[in-house]
Amino acid sequence: MNSLLRLLGDGRFHSGEELGRALGVSRSAVWKYLQGLEDECGIELFKVPGKGYRLAEPLSLLNYEDNAAVLAPLGWQLYLRESTDSTNAEALRLLQSGVAAPFVVLAEGQTHGRGRRGRVWTSPPAQNIYYTLVLKVSNGLQGLSGLSLVVGLAVLRALHRAGIESAGLKWPNDVYAGGRKIAGILLELNGDPADVCHVIIGIGVNVNMAPSTQGIGQAWTSVREQTGMLASRDDLVRFVSEALSHYLERHAREGFSSLRDEWEAHNIWRGRRCTLSTGTQQVKGLMKGLDEQGALRLWIEGQGERCFSGGELSLRLDDDS
């Protein structure tokens, strides 16, 4: 499928004969592949008699060699998949099969992308970044404290580098631009967090996703919408990887407290009224910021300031804020 997409990726018309010759298959086989792109992948095609086939929108496909060359100096091995259920799930399978961390899993598309709290992460092929980094953590809970916030800071810096200066951070795991979500983070642990374990860091970035994409239950935006240009997904992978390496190394040396002020400088909801969902209750209050460990500081009327942390917490903005 990727070979066909690469041939069509220039946005020009290609005849079935030309595509079959390049792929070494018959014209009928080309037609079946094209049907698969439309039916299974949701990729829109223009079909014009006498001219052939053309993608409705040009695509930015991932290049294995280029991305492997970016990751090699960081000491990270690359596994690139045409499609997988989710990059986090594939990373866990690789880890359980004996692949040594650190390594990165990238995918052109996901069939069952996942967000926090069991939410679906819409993952059309060849449009966004589906990225998972697996690290070994040997200093226990200290090495995990504030880690998701640091990853968010790295993704933010990558988006700034891509030209989206308006991007900001929403506690605990989201990056927003123009008031809408542009990236999300899902951390999962494998092993004993009090001893030696692996952390699976999943990152999703909306890059070139079409405005007509269905199935997203919240306001969202993309790199392409924010910049007005088709973005290189390879460039975004490089920006994210280099920023991750920098911030993870600093977190390992100095802890989250050294990065707290930088995170707070991009905290888009500080000083606004929010509702915190804890799974068993909802708490309303004024967001005051973060403490030294990255916990949410919430001022609650009648109670004063309280701190909240944990993997199943979710924060939303009140309508009257």
What is the pLDDT, as a whole number, of residue 267? Answer: 97
Place of tokens 């996901």: 110
| Residue 114 marked in a binding site | yes
Among residues 116, 224, 233, 260, which one is catalytic?
116
Say whether pLDDT at 59 is over 50: yes
Among residues 181, 224, 233, 260, which one is catalytic?
181
Number of domains in the chain: 3
Assess contact for 126 and 109: CB atoms under 8 A. Answer: yes
What is the pLDDT, as a whole number, of residue 115? Answer: 63
Q: Is 224 a catalytic residue?
A: no
| Residue 227 marked in a binding site | no
* Domain identity same for 196 and 279: no
pLDDT digits (tens, 9 = 90+) for 261-309: 999 999 999 999 999 998 788 999 999 999 999 999 999 999 999 999 8
What pTM does this model have?
Answer: 0.87
* Domain identity same for 234 and 197: yes
* Domain identity same for 110 and 258: yes
Could you give the CA distance from residue 108 to residue 77 in angstroms, rounded to a whole number?
17
Helix (H, G, I), strand (E, B), or coil: what is residue 189?
strand
* Domain identity same for 164 and 216: yes
What is the pLDDT, as a whole number, of residue 321? Answer: 45
Q: Is 181 a catalytic residue?
A: yes
Domain that holds residue 35: 2-55
* Domain identity same for 79 and 202: yes
Say whether pLDDT at 190 is over 60: yes
* Domain identity same for 140 and 161: yes
Q: Is 12 a catalytic residue?
A: no
Say whether pLDDT at 40 is over 70: no
Say whether pLDDT at 78 is over 80: yes
If DSSP states are collapsed to H, E and C, what string results for 94-145?
A: HHHCCCCCCEEEEEEEECCCECHHHCECCCCCCCCEEEEEEEEECCHHHHHC
Calculate mean pLDDT across residues 144-163.
Answer: 96
* Domain identity same for 183 and 143: yes
Q: What is the CATH number of the domain that holds 28?
A: 1.10.10.10
Q: What is the CATH number of the domain that holds 117?
A: 3.30.930.10
| Residue 190 marked in a binding site | no
* Domain identity same for 135 and 168: yes
* Domain identity same for 100 and 243: yes
| Residue 96 marked in a binding site | no
| Residue 115 marked in a binding site | yes
Assess contact for 190 and 101: CB atoms under 8 A. Answer: no
* Domain identity same for 300 and 256: no
* Domain identity same for 150 and 168: yes
Task: Work out the percent of the chain whose per-residue pLDDT is above 70.
Answer: 93
* Domain identity same for 50 and 191: no
